[in-house]
Structure formats: C-alpha cells, structure tokens
Structure 1
Amino acid sequence: MFQYVFGIPFTLLKFLLLWFWGTLKRLIPYALRWKKSIANEIVLITGGGSGIGRQTALYFARAGATLVLWDVNPDGNAETARLVRDCGMKAYTYTCDVTKREEVYRVAQRVKEEVGTVFILVNNAGIVSGKQFLHLTDEEIIKTMDVNTMAHFWTLRAFLPDMVRSNQGHVVTISSLLGESAVGGLSDYCTSKFAVRGLHDAILREMSVLDSQVKCTVVCPFGVSTGMFDGVKLRHEFLLPFMAPEYVGRKIVQAVLTDTEVLYLPPYVQLLVIAKTILPTSAQLVLEDIIKLNEATKTFTGRRQDTPKKEN
C-alpha cells in the first residue's frame, strides 16, 4: 500500500523533490553550495605521479586532507608528495602496479597499517594506445582493460569494505566522455571507459540499497592536456578544447566536497550525451564528421616513446 503525504503518494513526492533539488543544485554556483569537511581524511589517488592525479592531490591537500599516492613511477610520485608537503599536509608514496591484483591487496594492507583507513578513493590511473582497432595488438587491448577497468575492481575490493563498515567514504571514478559516446581510433579506450562507468553506476546503486553514506562521483572529461592524447587533431578545436589538468583537479575536489554524483568537463559536453539519445546514428556521424572526430587519432603520438602513455 502507498503511504500518502497531502494526498500524494510518498514515493512520487520523494521522486519529484529529489528531481527538483538535483536540477536546482546544478544551477547553484560552487561558492554558494554546502561543502563537507575532509580535514585530516585519508585520500588515496592511483596514478598520483603526474597530470590529473597530481593536481587532484594538490587540491585535496589545500582542503586539509592527508594524501596516499600510488603510481608505477616513483620519481613522479615523489615530486607530487613534495608539492603536497609544501601545502603543509602529509603525503605517503607507494609504488604499485594497479593491474596486479595481489600487489594491490598487499600494498593496500600496508597503507592501512602505516597510514590508516582510506575514506576517499580516487581511481585515476589510465592509459591509451591511440590506434585503430585493426592495428591493435592483443597485448595492447589487454593492457588497456587491465589499467583502465580491472584495476578499479581491485582497489574497490581493497578499500570499499572499510568505508561500508564505517558508513562513510567517497569513491571517485575518473571515466571519460568517451565512456558514454565512442569515437573511432580509440576502441579499446572507449570500451574500458564504458565498462568502468558501468561498474561505478552499479556500485552507487548497491550503496543506495544498503542505505550507506558512502558517496560516489564519476568524472567524465572530454580531453585533458596531460600529454596522453598528444597529436590528436580536431577540426574546429575551439568547440571541444583540451582542458588544463589544474582545472580538472580543482573541479574533481569541488565535486567531492559538494557530493556531486556526475561531473562533466567541460560542463556543456553533457549536451552531447543528451544528443546521442535523441539523434539517429546517421545524424550523429554527420555532426562528428564536421570536426573530423573519428579521424582525430590519425596524428596521435601520445607521450614520448620512453614514457608510458598514462592518463594520470
């Protein structure tokens, strides 16, 4: 039987109120939004040694958090830690290959023993091959899926149970606009980001069923100038410009502080997601051809060949 409030079924009233509040919240400037405190919270960032990972760490440090940095590059990790300490906050570095399940579990246990319980997990590490599907090797496909998708399973299994037991925490998933609208030349990357968005959305719903206070934020940027997509060329680039990692890092931390569930960067790219649900595929292809979106990786170089092409 339905419960009624003022003659309106409670479930319907709740749906309408949450719909109204969610829409209103998007229109409220960040400066006017309620922000939670993360002072002295332990934040773990995978791929913390450069790019988005580094800038996100710095903004978390400015918000008063303690940083735990994971990366396969110890030198980059050490530099991020130095910058965090320059902000007056603690930073701990661990060299960890997130594609190796047992290594993730082992290093996670060290973090719990040496630093404490992680209550904010930022799954950021990622790679891109930048090749057409017919030119990909089996090894490249597997590596992309291992770093961009499977690693999220291992870190979540390592840290999410502690958050659920404590009934607090925040999971941040760095996905991509290409996890909602695919492009040619990035088939393995798009697949990995579609998959990780699905994982994130499922976890969010499981937390809802548990009535857990663990929050979830998924970040969907179009392109970030970390070097990962060097060489990619679009016609009319002003329509979809690449963003500075400093801007992305700041927006990620703002999203966590305000418990924002979905963050599109730049914000207007959400219109492209909406357009995809409305327009027939043939019309989508015409629009994509205007900016040569599906040919953009023909000039892809990525980072220097002696440096891993990492998203972080």
Structure 2
Amino acid sequence: MLNVHSAGKVPYQEAFPLKSKTHYEKIQLIVLVIFDIVKVILIVLVKIFVLPISVWFRRGPKSISGKNALITGGANGIGKAIALELAQCGCNIIIADIDKAASERTLELLQKFNVKSLSYSIDVSDSEKVEDLKEYVEKSIGSVDILVNNAGLMPLASLREGNSIDIKRIVDVNLNSNFWTIRTFLPRMLKRKTGHIVQIASMSALHPIPGAIVYTATKYAVTGLMLGLEEELRQENHENGIDFTTVYPYFVSTRLDLMNILNLRFPAISAQVTAKETVKGIINRKRRVVIPYCDAFLSGFFRNLPYYVQCLVRDFILREPESRIIKDPFVYVS
C-alpha cells in the first residue's frame, strides 16, 4: 500500500477490470439487503415499544464540577465566555491562546469562582506546541476532561481575495489545529473511558456565507471531522464515556471591528448566550447545539427549497447582498 508521500513517485498501477456479477449473485445481494432492511425495521419497532420504559432509565444531566476544561482561543470572545460559564459550573479552566495579555486578564476574572485556572500561550496550529501544552497541563492540573476547540479566524473575504499564505493560515487555525488537539488529548480520554470534545463550528456550516468562503469551508470541514470521529469510535465500541458536541452559533457579537463593518438584517447574538447554550449542551450530552435553536429548523427548510427560491430568500428576506458591503475586503477576526 502506498503512503501519502509516495504519490507521483511510484508508478501508477490500474486496478483490475471489475468483474460483472452473475444474475444469481445480484439476486443474492438484493435478498441480503432486504433482510437487513427488515432487521433494522424490527429493531426500530422494538426501540419504539420500549421507549416509554427506557425513559425512566436514561442518563440524566452529567455533573461537570471538578472537571478540567481546556478552551482553545479562550482569552477573548466566545472562548472567554465559555471559560467563565464552565468555571461557574465548578470546572477547572485551562486557557490556550496566542494572546497572552488577554489570557491573563481572563484568569483574573476566573479567580472569583474558586476553581483552578491556568493559561498557556500557544499557536494551536503548531502540532508540536500542542504536544507541549499537553505535558504542561498534565503536570500542572491533570488530564483534560473537556476539550473545547474554539480558536478560529474569520476573514470577511472571497476566495479570490488575499493570498495563498492568508488561506493557509485560516485553514491551519480553523481546521488543522483541531486535528492536533484531538489527536493529542483523545487517547487519554479513551484510556480513562471518559471525556467530552466540543467543537465551536458556525451557522455557516448549515447556511453557507457568501464572501467568507474559506471560513465557511473550514466550518463544514470541522463538522465532518466531528461526525466522522464519533461514528468511528462508535464502530470501535469506544463511544461509551466519550461525548461529542458541535455548536452552530449565528453571528456572535465579539470584536468591535467586526460588528462595525457588518450590516446584518437580523441582530447578532451575544458571546454570553452562546456560552450558556454551549455549556447546557455539554451537561445534557447534546450532539448538536444550534444557536438560536429556531435556526436548526429554518436552515433545514431553506436547503429543501428550489434554488431560485433560495436566491429570493437570500436577496429579499436575509438581504445578504447588503450585508457584504464592507469597508475592508479582508478583515481577520479571532
């Protein structure tokens, strides 16, 4: 089997021509598939029958008091609000952020909650630095119980704007950093059979944002990352004890420079509301948290409309063309 470094260096060999199935093999496949469909239907019917009984025995909200929560990009904005909300619930907080001064200010705010808190200055897109972060955290406070992947850059720019270095930076922070943090902290969670991975995605993963294509692509990607990882662990029988939550907030009022250039038809939501709903989702083991909740139904309904109707909604109800009128064509927001 070739590895990822062999592409183009080892002669390409075509696969053997596909062998046509006989009529008997085709009928056999159809019968097996029908059998499996019937089996699934029966299992679903049994689940529906026992559902009223299982409700009495299902797991309730979990306690997160005393748990160690690591928040990337936790010094400002959504990450800061989540850190404060988790601390209020009794979690020990680790802030991993490139902004050292802001991290120190957030640590001061955390002192009133009587929990352990520490910060680590880091560029989470650097995989080696993430490994160093793990060693520091485990020596200082113990294993990470809740990993909140929040760090991100939001450029209000088309794919045609900026340059290759800009695009690479966005992908490194918004997507690749999540690979490094999960690869680093998940093994210990699996070993301990407990843990929670939280991904701050965006409404743009449900409703793509024109004029922020690279950002939107990364949010679609982290959604796929979480879905794929959860299913992989389920099939490996590792899912018990490991929870996954992906959060899809609408535009969040964080940095002043961002809010000054946006021209939204509908009002943004606050970082505090986003944090409260996120933590509520963690406690209740929700796989998906959409903020505001009604957007989950609206985005699903929107995607099933004919394309020309979607365009009319974008132009006359959401007024997206108007919201794209900005002074600076390439603004970064972390």
Matched to 1:13, the amino acid is V
1:224 corresponds in structure 2 to 252
Query: In 2, distance between residues paired with 1:10 and 1:189?
Result: 41
Aligned positions of 1:264-279 closer than 5 A: 264-279=290-305
Deviations 1:280-310 (A, max 9, x none): 222111100013214423216599x8xx621
The structure 1 residue matched to 2:190, chosen from 152, 164, 174, is 164
Paired letter, 1:215: D
Which residue identity is paired with 1:272?
L
CA gap 1:232/1:18 in 2 versus in 1, 3 angstroms: farther
TM-score after normalising by structure 1: 0.85
Cα contact 1:64–1:89 (8 A) shared by 2: yes
Alignment of 1:26-105 (within 5 A): 34-105=60-131
1:299 aligned onto 2:331: no
Deviations 1:100-137 (A, max 9, x none): 11111122222122221001000000111111222231
Residue among 226, 251, 258 paired with 1:200: 226
Superimposed CA distance per residue, residues 157-189 of structure 1 (whole angstroms, 9 cap, x where no aligned partner): 010111111111100000011012212100011
The AA in structure 1 aligned to 2:75 is G
Q: Deviations over 1:179-221 (max 9, x none)?
A: 1221210001100100011001111112322332200000001
Q: CA deviation at 1:277?
A: 3.3
SS in 2 for 1:64: coil
| Aligned residue number for residue 285 of structure 2 | 259
Q: Which amino acid aligns with 2:215?
A: Y
CA distance in 1 between partners of 2:183 and 2:272 (Å): 29
Instruction: Tell me, in whole angstroms, the C-alpha distance in 2 between the residues paired with 1:208 and 1:300.
Output: 47
1:298 is matched by which residue type in structure 2? Answer: I
CA RMSD, Structure 1 to Structure 2 (Å)? 2.7
Unaligned 5+ runs, structure 2: 1-34
Shift of 1:272: 2.8
The letter of the residue matching 1:229 is: L
| Mapped partners of 2:86, 2:165: distance in 1 | 35
For the pair shown, the structure with the greater C-alpha radius of gyration is 2
Question: Which secondary structure state, in structure 2, belongs to the residue aligned with residue 92 of structure 1?
Answer: strand
Q: Whole-Å Cα distance in 1 between the matches of residues 245 and 280 of structure 2?
A: 11
Task: For 1:127 and 1:300, locate their aligned partners in 2 and report how far apart those are by CA, in whole Å.
Answer: 18
Choose 52-61 or 129-138, whichever is displaced more: 129-138
Where 2:310 maps in the other structure, the secondary structure is helix
2:309 to 263, 283, 287: 283
Rounded to whole Å, the distance in 1 between the matches of 2:50 and 2:186 is 26
Contact 2:107/2:119, CA 8 A, preserved across alignment = yes
Deviates more, 1:257-266 or 1:275-284: 275-284
What is the number of residues matched between the two proteins? 289
- Identity of aligned pairs, percent? 27
How far off its partner does 1:12 sit? 4.3
Q: 1:144 to 1:40 in 2, by over 3 A?
A: same
Aligned positions of 1:169-188 closer than 5 A: 169-188=195-214
Which structure 1 residue ranges, 5 or more long, are not aligned? Answer: 25-32
Amino acid aligned to 1:70: A
Asked which structure has the greater RCO (Cα within 8 Å, sep 6+), the reply is 1
Q: Distance in 1 between matches of 2:235 and 2:312?
A: 42
Instruction: Report deviation, 1:11.
Output: 4.7
**Preserved CA contact (<8 Å) 1:129 1:140:** no
CA distance in 2, matches of 1:17, 1:191: 41
Question: Which residue matches 1:233?
Answer: 263
Q: Aligned residue for 2:7?
A: none
Q: Distance in 1 between matches of 2:290 and 2:125?
A: 26
Note the 1:102-141 alignment, pairs <5 A: 102-141=128-167
Partner of 1:30: none
CA distance in 1, matches of 2:204, 2:321: 12
